[in-house]
Structure 1
């Protein structure tokens, strides 16, 4: 299959050639070996992508051995503008050159004030009006913890409602909300969390699929909460994702989200929406809640809001602001560089219509992938919103269930990921059985890059399905092929 070239503004990411090796490649091998010896067994992405990146620009990453890759991981959705975007670099350099303090705990700075202004300007007006923001430790999991503590303080309750397939972080409270059993099993306790069925049409928890499954989910939630013998003590909050990311890129229907907002509002249960991965234009709107029009009581934000640097906040309705000073604190809440980079990112996304662009390009990619599913039966379902796209891989020889879904194929998914890497494409896995290819390219992705991603992905799925494995070779471009990076802005 012929691969489309990258845009003329940057170098071509060529079809990998076998046997390419350099002194730099040998050095990269040593770095990877030392990483295996020195770092913990919990490392993840390093296992999937045995490369040593040395340069990156836009959507292109170059390894120490000169091989180049199109990056559809984007720091798990952190890089809204891709790697080293000029606007982000200019904001960082300007801040460094100004002599501004880089660390000031939660003291007021011009950079923090500017970031807060840009953030509130980007939020849905009905939510931003009268809202408060709390700067957390620099990871989304700490913002989830803060949101939970905030609502526990406000309501005097301790429990929470969360959903199957959820992912909210790896610290204690966030992990209790997370659905993945494998990461929870070794740990004592699980918190007072009631697990509710998330509407997952392809693998419907009620065995009916489609809109009917979402309606059953909403009915189940409402009746469970109203049942005096249902076993659910009134909770401090409901926590949900508009599109489950780690859960396999599963978008919630807008009507279901509106039902959750109604159900929680009628029962005095605060609604926390986790927008850590869906925010800043990723789903085709600046914030994913805008698709349904719901107004939550709190939003948890991280990843892209820091412009590629660590930053996390919780924004909430001011009537919940009942904390005492120091109720949720942390050393690294005053990341000046991240605030400058984040403000620049938020304004660039808004000024250049990148959310709308994500909707347009993402829609075309999904359409092409769904057409491809007709040719490659290993593709069970293609779904997503904007540039948050999932391709669920299945065993085409197995019998489908009552909803038409065949068993997940995690081994095939691993082979496809390896075949993609061999073809110069970085994609990661997720979903209930790690059988979903997740595409999270930067919002600055060009049409030419989108075409190249599609071609490489199709070729990788076809090769892996045929049992070819990684295909021809493991290189993703020769060491001397052009300059590093491909600007996408």
Structure 2
């Protein structure tokens, strides 16, 4: 292991700090000109001016530890030297930056780097398709591939799922609010219960809930009067991200693989957010040992630049030319940055470090439950961590879970920002604080993240050290660990 425990990477010579700009004026213009669908900009009234590693500097000079990481896109954090060097080298080489789906040395190198990380039994007989720049387009491609290969149309998807915002991806996602005002997206999707120990759909929790989910799925598919026509595919996440950082038990994933394989149903695993070391393995499917038929990949594979692909078993490659196209399939810079990122994560053992650091963070957060009763559950895998906030005075349900507290979570997010920490919310009720720090986060930064989050929860909910909030806020603008000297 060559990763530093105090600073994620050797600091390059920093660029001069840009002149101060009127951040408030920029935010006013954004509110006046951008659509009402903007999301992160509402939660974080920050105008980033510089960023390095885990740290973002706003135009007003304040600095923040970034535990959102572009929703998991920034495996190596902001402006990692390996990524910057790959981009500079490619630009200076004169390589074409846009080539549709033509072969290039950069694409060939990226494909080599990608296949080297995949489970060997999968990579041996796999094909890759380059999609549009976003993960949602890769989800659409995976669904179309399965439908084309099987000649079937129905889909199996899960409660709590999130797969994107285009029509097919939205249809297999679980969120109701974004579907309600849109007509025509209710595809032939059968919704299955995803195992969620804290808020078990069967009201039993634990391993028993996962066992019931598998039994229900199998019996439904085999019931001649169950109403489910043989489907084209099952799509799932090994860890639900937007759904509240809910890891699927390994045994349940193996059951889903068995159930689909026995019935000739392609299994699609969405690794858009879980991939490239995020969960403590290079790909989340490796924890359970399953080999899917299709993997959907995006976010971190582009080294912070837009890139999305699907990788699938070659026997499903029954598309006609042009069956799934996209103008921006040939992003040369993203392929160069992505290849550099994939190789760096593998070479430096960052997946293993994510497992170790994530376990340490989860253990400390779980220990805080005794002091901060608003913490209902702490869960996750690797550096994909969720802290579900609850009403500690509310009556528990059959599994012992107290009512979700989305208002509290919203205030905690704001309190974190005041303390120089960027976190986002998720989960069924937007009551889960999600932590997605870069894989290169240093030990000092880890401690700062945990301290600031604990202090924010304490200050919002009342408790052991609420009076310390002002002290932390005054120190939040100092340089974060890992910032270039």
Q: TM-score, normalised by structure 1?
A: 0.93
Distance 1:132 1:459, change over 3 A: same
Distance 1:77 1:8, change over 3 A: closer
Whether the 8 Å contact between 2:8 and 2:53 is mirrored in structure 1 is: no
2:412 pairs with 1:416: yes
Whether the 8 Å contact between 1:67 and 1:475 is mirrored in structure 2 is: no
Q: Distance in 2 between matches of 1:477 and 1:68?
A: 10
For residue 466 of structure 1, report the CA deviation from its aligned partner: 1.8
**Structure 1: which 5+ runs fail to align?**
12-22
Where does 1:233-248 land on structure 2 (aligned, <5 Å)? 233-248=229-244
For residue 482 of structure 1, report the CA deviation from its aligned partner: 5.6
Number of the residue aligned with 2:15: none
Number of aligned residue pairs: 472
From 183, 187, 198, give the equivalent of 1:188: 183
Distance 1:95 1:9, change over 3 A: closer
Number of the residue aligned with 2:42: 47
Whether the 8 Å contact between 2:418 and 2:473 is mirrored in structure 1 is: yes
Q: Distance in 1 between matches of 2:56 and 2:262?
A: 49
From 279, 282, 295, give the equivalent of 1:286: 282
Q: Distance in 1 between matches of 2:454 and 2:403?
A: 21
Q: Distance in 2 between matches of 1:472 and 1:175?
A: 42
Q: Distance in 1 between matches of 2:313 and 2:9?
A: 45
**Structure with more relative contact order (C-alpha pairs < 8 Å, separation 6 or more):** 1
2:129 pairs with 1:131: no
Cα RMSD of the aligned pairs, angstroms, is 2.2
Whether the 8 Å contact between 1:69 and 1:476 is mirrored in structure 2 is: no
Whether the 8 Å contact between 1:137 and 1:332 is mirrored in structure 2 is: yes
Helix, strand or coil for the counterpart of 1:269?
A: coil
For residue 24 of structure 1, report the CA deviation from its aligned partner: 3.3
Deviations 1:376-413 (A, max 9, x none): 00000000000000000000001111101000000000
For residue 7 of structure 1, report the CA deviation from its aligned partner: 5.2
Deviations 1:408-459 (A, max 9, x none): 0000000100110000000000000000000000000111110110100000
Number of the residue aligned with 2:332: 336
Q: Distance in 1 between matches of 2:193 and 2:316?
A: 27
Whether the 8 Å contact between 1:66 and 1:478 is mirrored in structure 2 is: no
2:220 pairs with 1:218: no
Number of the residue aligned with 1:80: 75
For residue 472 of structure 1, report the CA deviation from its aligned partner: 3.1
| Off by >2 Å, runs of 4+ in structure 1 | 5-11, 467-479, 481-485
2:228 pairs with 1:232: yes
Distance 1:59 1:482, change over 3 A: closer
Number of the residue aligned with 1:199: 195
Helix, strand or coil for the counterpart of 1:369?
A: helix
Q: TM-score, normalised by structure 2?
A: 0.94
**Structure 2: which 5+ runs fail to align?**
12-18
Whether the 8 Å contact between 1:73 and 1:427 is mirrored in structure 2 is: yes
Q: Distance in 1 between matches of 2:481 and 2:46?
A: 15
2:253 pairs with 1:253: no
Number of the residue aligned with 1:97: 92
